[in-house]
Amino acid sequence: MEDTMAEHGIILRGGMVIDGTNRQRFAADVAIDDNRIAAVGDLSGDTAETVIDATGRIVCPGFIDVHTHDDRMLRDAGDMTPKVSQGVTTVVAGNCGISLAPFVARERPTEPLDLVGGQEDYRYPTFAGFVDDLTRQAPASNAALLVGHGTLRVATMDDTQRPATADEIATMKEKVAEAMASGACGLSTGLEYPPARKSETEEVIALAEVAAKAGGVYATHMRSYYTEARSSYDEAARIGREAGLPVVISHFHCHTNDHPEICVEALGWYEKSLAEGQEIAADAYPYEASSTSILPDFVEKRTKVLVTWSKPHPEVNGRYLHDIATEWGIDDLVAAERLAPGGAIYFGRDEENVKRLMTHPNIIIGSDGIPMNRHPHPRLWGTFPRVLGHYARALGLMEMEDAIHRMTAASADRFGLTGRGRIEAGAAADIVVFDPATIIDKADFMEPEQPAAGIDHVFVNGTEVWNTNGHTGASPGRVVGQRTG
């Protein structure tokens, strides 16, 4: 009888596998050779250089954070601790129309580009230059990169407070083509933000068509998430249809307690598009508050605002805007103007709507964390364990299999990350081993920089980057996407 025993680099033995496809968990060993999963099943006869006891643990694909602003962290703080400590093995950067490339800044970047970096960070005349930096200085996690529409406008136009001319659109199309050829996975927009507010839908369609030809995706921070959300959603769907590419609605949050019905209506529009066969998805995060620049328009719509950073007044980081305004003896809006440029956490979401989003079978998970914030939103460190530990286990709103599917395979499929997001032979060995009884976020609004509990092991491309002792110091990440694998 032929001997079928094999020797592997690593075997994760005795765990329960949740493979990312939404099938029920099953008992199996998982073998890793180099950067790939070599085998899944009963490997009791196989040996390995390293054997990890996964008894009582879940073994699942590494989580894919589909909505991040990690561009600078990938390059300059490549340990990616806020992400790998919660089981994230791939991040999608360049969201909301903000990417570090292609743009060479001659002065401090305008809002919201300053959420990602300062003048010294925007130093790339081509997208390839940024990709080359990430290739030379590999981060601990993988990176899928979007090229940002806001960045393109600022790099191309002398004044973004108007529609782009035909010549400017032609220049931006060339930049999108270069980005896609260099490894970008799609185009993002931030149509609610100043650099893109005056852009016409036809301009975005023209750029999205270029991304579509290269197999890209269109991810959009829409023009409005308030009472104008319907027209904004219709615009996003139209861009996808006419340009011929999949759409991802960014941070699908229906963001106001004053009109909680907007979320129900928005989900109805979303489901209608799905039923009509449009390739469309939406990402969301499991918190009742958002975070972005300090903008008077945003302050007016919220009752509670926490300052995360302020360039002119760094001493107020981590304090509530109303308390600062009261101390200064001025109105909240005036205080916000004095604190800019800066960032803030905006409270104003209805928890029932958060639950609707977290349990919707077609919502994928993205943190929208902002690493540059001095006092970040806890979503930067806690999004994925919060979904699993709070919404799935504690509240029992969904099975872990469903949640993990929408953190892994569904996300990989939407962003064209071939060979990732699944536990199967031949797939990239991006793997998380966690304790289903204890996994939970520890980061909160007052102490946001805390690793999650219950994460035992995290592997990126077959190399362990995180375990119960902390970061291993390894940086095996790579740029991934349609062009880069």
* pLDDT at position 293: 80
pLDDT, tens digit, 9 for 90 and up, residues 444-475: 988 999 999 999 999 999 999 999 999 999 99
Helix (H) or strand (E) holding 37: strand 36-41
CATH hierarchy code of domain 293-341? 3.30.1490.130
CB 434, CB 442: distance < 8 Å = no
C-alpha torsion 232→233→235→238, nearest 10: 180
DSSP-assigned letter for residue 135: H
* pLDDT at position 2: 43
* pLDDT at position 260: 66
The SS3 assignment for 428 reads strand
**Mean pLDDT, rounded, of the chain:** 94
Number of residues assigned to the chain: 485
Helix (H) or strand (E) holding 16: strand 7-17
* pLDDT at position 426: 98
* pLDDT at position 330: 93
pTM for this entry? 0.94
Q: What is the rounded CA–CA span in Å between residue 377 and residue 332? A: 21
pLDDT, tens digit, 9 for 90 and up, residues 224-243: 887 788 889 999 999 999 99
Neighbours of 34 (CB within 10 A): 12
| DSSP character string of 284-353 | E-S-SEEEEE--HHHHHT-SEEEEEEESS-GGGTTSBHHHHHHHHTS-HHHHHHHH-SEEEEEE---HHH
Where in the sequence of the chain do the CATH 3.30.1490.130 domains occur?
A: 293-341
HSE, CB side, 13 Å, CA atoms: give it for residue 198: 12
* pLDDT at position 374: 84
**How would CATH label the architecture of 63-292+342-414?**
Alpha-Beta Barrel (3.20)
The first and second tokens of residue 112, run together, are: 């919201």
HSE, CB side, 13 Å, CA atoms: give it for residue 237: 17
Peptide bond into 341 cis (omega under 30): yes
| Residue in 67, 46, 39, 97 with CA at minimum distance from that of residue 368 | 67
**116-122 CB contacts, 8 Å cutoff, 24+ apart:** 116/69, 116/71, 116/72, 116/372, 117/71, 117/72, 117/372, 121/72, 122/151
Q: Which residues in the chain land under pLDDT 70?
A: 1-4, 254-260, 301-303, 482-485
CATH class of 7-61+425-471: mainly beta
Where in the sequence of the chain do the CATH 2.30.40.10 domains occur?
A: 7-61+425-471
Helix (H) or strand (E) holding 47: strand 47-53
Helix (H) or strand (E) holding 217: strand 217-221
